Amino acid sequence: MGFDELLKSKKVLICCGSGGVGKTTLSAALGVRAAELGLKVLVLTIDPAKRLATSLGLDQLGDEQRQIGQGRFVGELYASMLDMKKTFDDFIIRLAPSPAIAERVLKNNVYQQVSTALNGSQEYTSLEKLLQIMAQKKFDIVILDTPPTKHAIDFLHAPIKIHTLFQDSIIKWFLMPFTTLDKMSLGLMNRGTKLAFKAFEKLAGSEFLSNLTEFFASIREWQKALRDRTAEVHRLLTSNSTGFVLVTGFNSVKIEEARFFERTLKKGGYYLSAIIINRAFPLWEQSEIGVGELIDDKKDSLGENYRLITEYYRSMQKFYRSQQTAFKNFAGEVRQNVIFALLPDFDQDIHDVDSLKQVADRLVEEFKEQKTL
C-alpha cells in the first residue's frame, strides 16, 4: 500500500507527532494529494499558532470550512481551524437537558476558567469536533492535525483524563457535602474521603470549592450522554477506516519516541498507517548510496577553497548519513503494512498550494523508492 491507496481507503487520518516536526504542513500536503485524487477532503487543524493558515498562504483560518484552491483539483480541498472555546460551548449546549442548565454552566466561573485550560481539553475538543464533522457525512476523508504535544502519544492519553473527570463517581463526590450540607452527609462519607476533601478545601479556599460544586451539580444530568459520546469517539478511533500517521523528526531521541508510539497504538487496537520522517536529509544528499559523491580526483588542482568547501560538505554528509542508518534500523523493526517515508528538507519555505503539492509528490515518490530498501 502507498499513500494514494491509504487516502482512498480511509475516512479519517490522524496526524500525530511531537511539536515542531512539520505535522501541520504534512497534513496539508496529504490533503492536497487527496484532492488531486478526486476526493473531497477536509484538513482540520487545532494548532493555536495558525500554522496551517501559514502553510496555505491564508492569513486567517476560521472555524468555518474554507475551500482552498477552488478549481485546481479534480476533488475538493477544505481547511478549517478548531475554535476550542466555541466547540466546548456547543458541546455543553447540545448535551444540556435544558437551555437554562446550559446557561448556568456557561456562566459558571470555574467553567469559564477551566473549559479550555483543562489538561487534555484540546485533544478532547478536537475529537468532539471530528465526530461532529463525521456525522455530517460531507467529506470522503478528514485529515486531523493534532495539537502539539511533548510526546506523540499524549494525544491518545489526554482525552482519558477529561473522561475520568466527568465520571459519575467524581461528580457525586464533589456534590455530597454541599448539596445536602449537613452533618449527616459528612458523616456518611468515609473517613479518608472526608479528610481528603477537607485538605482540598483548605488548599483551594471555600469560594472555589463552591463554584466547583455548582459546576458539577449542573453537569450531573448528562452523565449518560457524555459516556455515549466517549464510547463513540473510541469506536471512531479504533475503526479500520481510521488510520494514524506518525510524523516525526530525525534523531535518535525521536526514533525512540516513534518506537514507543508504534507499540502503544498496537496495544490499544489502533491502526498505524504510516510513519513519515520529516526533514531527514537535504535535497543534495540523496537517500541512495552512490549518489551524492563528489568528484574527488580534481580537488588538488582546484585549490584551498575547494578543499574547505569539500570538508564542509563531508561533515554535513556524515551527519545526515548517520541519521539515515538509525532510521533504516528502525524501519526494519516495524510491521510490513506500515508505510514508511523519508522526506528531504526542502530548499524552500512551504507556504502555498504549489509547494504543498511538491511535498505530496515527494511523499508518493519517496515511498516508491523506499519499498526497495
Partner 1 sequence: MNLTNQQLVFVTGKGGVGKSVAAASIAWSEARKGKRVCLVELGSQSFYESFFEIRGIAYDPSELVPDVHIALFTPEDCLKEYVLHYVKVKQLYEIFFQNKVMRAFLNAAPALAELSILGKLTGALRGIIKSDYDLFVVDCFSTGHALALFRAPFGLSTVFKSGPLYEQSRDISKILTDPQLTHYVLVTLAEEMPVVETGELISQMRSELKCEPTLICNKLLNPPLTLDQRNQLSLAENDVTMKKFLDYLAFKEKSQNMQLQAIKGFAHSFYGVPIILNATSGQDYVEQFAKGLEKLYGI
**CA distance to 128, 191, 294, 312, per residue, from 282 (Å):** 38, 64, 16, 14
Number of Cβ atoms within 10 Å of the Cβ of 183: 8
Cα three-residue angle 317-321-323, rounded to 5 degrees: 125
- According to the binding rule CB under 8 A, does residue 167 interact with partner 1? yes
Please, what is the minimum distance in Å from the beta carbon of residue 65 to partner 1? 23
Query: 231 Cβ partners below 8 Å, 6+ apart?
Result: none
Please, what is the minimum distance in Å from the beta carbon of residue 304 to partner 1? 10
- Select from 66-74, 165-173, 334-342, 353-361 the region that touches partner 1 (CB under 8 A): 165-173
The one among 266, 309, 365, 368 contacting partner 1 by CB under 8 A: 309
Distance between CA 255 and CA 275 in Å, rounded?
A: 11
* Residue 65 vs 121, nearer CB to partner 1: 121
Please, what is the minimum distance in Å from the beta carbon of residue 262 to partner 1? 16
Within residues 246-305, the interface with partner 1 by CB under 8 A covers 249, 252-253, 256, 282-284, 291-295, 298, 302, 305
The amino acid present at 223, given as its one-letter code, is Q
Within residues 83-122, the interface with partner 1 by CB under 8 A covers 109-110, 113-114, 117-120
- According to the binding rule CB under 8 A, does residue 193 interact with partner 1? yes
Q: Indicate the burial class of 310 (C-beta count within 10 angstroms; 0-12, 13-18, 19 or more).
A: middle
- Select from 70-78, 136-144, 231-239, 310-318 the region that touches partner 1 (CB under 8 A): 310-318
- Select from 28-36, 78-86, 167-175, 222-230 the region that touches partner 1 (CB under 8 A): 167-175
- According to the binding rule CB under 8 A, does residue 49 interact with partner 1? yes
- According to the binding rule CB under 8 A, does residue 354 interact with partner 1? no
- According to the binding rule CB under 8 A, does residue 177 interact with partner 1? no
Cβ proximity of 281 and 287 under 8 Å? yes
